[in-house]
Amino acid sequence: MAAITSCNAWAGTVQSERAAREECSAYSQAGMRECLAKKANASAAELSKAENKVRRTLAKWDEDTKYVNLAKAKFETSNKEFGRYRDAHCAFDVSLGGGAIGNALEIGRLACVFELNSRRAAQLRDAISDLPLK
C-alpha cells in the first residue's frame, strides 16, 4: 500500500480525515479500513514521539524550576484531556454515520483518530519549537 506512506501530515501540513479517506478509497472497503488503521497507528506513534520530545525539551528548558515543573504538570494534564477529547469527538463523528454498519463506522473513526493525533503532534512540536534550552 504505497499510498499510506504518502501522508503529508508531518511535513508541516496536517492531512484532514476527509483527505485520508479519499487517499485510502482506492482500495476495497476492507482495504480502506486497513489503510486507515495503518494511518491511525502511524499517527499514534508520531504523537508519542512528539510527547516524548516535549518531555525531553521541558527537562532542558532554561527557565526557573518552578515554571518547568508547572509546565510539565500542565502538559501531562493536557495529554489526558486530549485523549478524552479525541475519543469523545471521534465517537460523535462516528455517530454522524447514522445507520451505516461496522466497517463504514470504523473507517470514519480511524480517519478521525488519524487527523486528531496528527494535529496534536504538530501542535506539540510548535509549542516547544522556540523554547530556550540550557
Predicted pLDDT at 1: 38
Q: What range does the domain containing 120 cover?
A: 18-128
Q: Does 118 fall in a domain?
A: yes
Please report the pLDDT score of residue 19 as a whole number. Answer: 95
pLDDT of residue 12: 64
The pLDDT of residue 3: 38
pTM, entire model: 0.88
CA distances from 62 to 59, 65, 70, 77 (A): 9, 9, 14, 22
The number of domains in the chain is 1
Q: Give the position of cell 499510506.
A: 4
Instruction: Read off the DSSP letter of residue 54.
Output: H
pLDDT at 111: 97
Domain membership of residue 3 (yes or no) is no
For residue 60, which amino acid is it?
K
Cβ 90 vs Cβ 104: under 8 Å:
no
Asked whether residue 8 is assigned to any structural domain, the reply reads: no
Domain membership flag for residue 55: yes
- pLDDT per position in the chain (134 positions), as tens? 333 333 333 446 899 999 999 999 999 989 999 999 999 999 999 999 999 999 999 999 999 999 999 999 999 999 999 999 999 999 999 999 999 888 899 999 999 999 999 999 999 999 999 999 99
The Cα–Cα gap between 69 and 44 comes to 26
Task: Give the model's pLDDT for residue 103.
Answer: 87
φ, ψ at 133 (rounded to 5°) = -105, 155
The enclosing domain of 106 has a CATH number of 1.20.1270.180
Domain-located, residue 61: yes
Q: Is residue 1 part of a domain?
A: no
pLDDT for res 54: 98
- Residue at 92 is within a domain: yes
